[in-house]
Amino acid sequence: MKSLLLSAVTAIALTTTLGADELSDLKTQLKLLSERLSTLEANDKKQVEQTNALTSELINVQNQTSFTAIDEDKAIQGMSPAASKVYYSKNPLSIGGYGELYYSNYTHDGANTGSKDPFGDTYRFIPYIGYKFSDNIILNSEIEFEHGNEVAIEQLYMDFILDPLATIRLGHQLLPMGYVNLYHEPTLFNTVQRPDIEKQLIPSTWHELGLSVYGKSENFEYQIGAFAALDMNTTGASGKDWIRKARVGNESDTGIENMAVVARLDYNGINGLQLGISGYTGKAGKANLPSKSQEGQMTMFDLHAVYQNEGFKARALYTESHLTNANSYKTDMPESARGGYVNLEYNVLPFFAQTSQRLPLFFQYENYNLATSMANGSAFGNTETFTYGLNYFPHDQVVLKAEYLNRKNKNTATASSYFDEGIYSLGLGFIF
């Protein structure tokens, strides 16, 4: 490049001493040199652009093979996008997860108005770690850190993908019941904590050792399997916690007495709408009272629906549970329960700004009875909750929550113990 410029300068200097013919030849050479210089400059610019493009592409490839970002449009059946990352990762190893933190303050608590102190909780931090042995053999896990000091394995299973219509899942996995039990990441439900019904009657998160098969066609999804059954002899499996405390989960050191059958079917043939039903049945554990030793049978079902259209979303669920021979376990053992809720939300932010951020306002109503009948002939009252709140999504994977919950608490067989609760709560949730 420097030699060309020097030649050009020399040629210009000589024009003052040369004749007409020689001057013409030099002008021609100068023109050629100028054109060559322009060509070289263009080539240099093109090479720089190509180098920048290749560098950018290399960075993208490195990111794709070392870290998989969440794609909201990609999710395995019955799982959130964060939990599904390993299925789409270009790297055999995949890491994802979610977290929840919250703060609550009671405005009133029955006769003890204002007596409960505000409280906060580093509620959950959950890493997902997956490994793809091949496109058809995939390991996935969910490790739960709760309250900053409790650790458990919530999921640890292997998928053997045979066909879109049939994947075999073997290991510790979520039971396909309800809505929140499967889609329990904090960006997927708008209340600060999970609905009461999907904590008590469908005890989210409900995970057991088992074998299942799942698959989908154009309009339907299904899952059916055998899992460790609820055990009504478990300590604490009575009163309002009779279902939640009966989970075997990770604490199977006392043995797994029975296996239960669980099945789920969802219909997705209408745009934006999902309709589904889930069912559970299994023996409830050996009887605890010698004089009444008949083993009980536990059955439950739920009906669920989700509809979404642009900024509007509605979710509804109804569930019932029944236990036979309840008096074989405890004199105050519940033998039936039922409940349902409706959750409505609407994203109002488009009325104020054109942005990818979201600001859904929501309302949730729950009505449930954790013991519609008990072995001793008594029953609980019907509890109602009214929750009003908002979520702010500065990013699709991050949510800030605020709500007020009013609970007319009748989770007892003693009417004089009924009380109302009012709770303000703030929450932070994220997935990655």
Render pLDDT for 226-277 as a digit per residue (tens, 0 to 9): 999 999 988 778 889 999 999 998 665 667 889 999 999 999 999 999 999 9
Are both 337 and 229 inside the same structural domain? Answer: yes
Q: What CATH number does residue 336 fall under?
A: 2.40.160.10
Share of the chain above pLDDT 90, in %: 70
Are both 58 and 166 inside the same structural domain? Answer: no
> What share of residues in the chain are helix, strand, coil (percent, to 5)?
20, 45, 35
Contact 175, 262 (CB under 8 A): yes
**Domain edge (last residue) among 40, 63, 86:** 63
Are both 300 and 416 inside the same structural domain? Answer: yes
Query: What are the DSSP calls for 347-361, one per residue?
Result: E-GGGT---S-B-EE
Are both 124 and 25 inside the same structural domain? Answer: no
Cα gap 72→399, rounded to integer Å: 15
Q: What is the length of the chain?
A: 432
Predicted confidence at residue 4, as pLDDT, reads: 46
Cα gap 281→209, rounded to integer Å: 16
Token duo for residue 254:
């006392």
Token duo for residue 72:
């909201």
Are both 247 and 371 inside the same structural domain? Answer: yes
Stretch (H or E) spanning 124: strand 119-132
pLDDT tens-digit map of 335-347 = 999 999 999 999 9
Predicted confidence at residue 63, as pLDDT, reads: 52
Flag whether pLDDT at 321 surpasses 50: yes
pLDDT confidence bin for 148, thresholds 50/70/90? confident
Are both 37 and 181 inside the same structural domain? Answer: no
pLDDT confidence bin for 42, thresholds 50/70/90? confident
Cα gap 431→189, rounded to integer Å: 13
* Better-scored residue on pLDDT, 360 or 29: 360
> Which of the given ranges, 6-15, 39-48, 405-414, has the highest pLDDT on average?
405-414
**Domain edge (last residue) among 16, 40, 63:** 63
Are both 85 and 39 inside the same structural domain? Answer: no
Are both 395 and 348 inside the same structural domain? Answer: yes
**Domain edge (last residue) among 17, 33, 63:** 63
In this structure, which amino acid lies at residue 128?
Y
Which residues span the domain enclosing 54?
2-63
Are both 242 and 279 inside the same structural domain? Answer: yes
Predicted confidence at residue 32, as pLDDT, reads: 79
Are both 30 and 122 inside the same structural domain? Answer: no
Per the structure, the count of domains in the chain is 2
Counting DSSP H helices and E strands in the chain, the numbers are: 4, 16
Are both 56 and 96 inside the same structural domain? Answer: no
CA-based radius of gyration for the chain: 32
Cα gap 69→353, rounded to integer Å: 27
Q: Quote the strand ranges of 217-333, DSSP E.
A: 220-228, 259-270, 273-283, 297-309, 312-323
Are both 26 and 116 inside the same structural domain? Answer: no
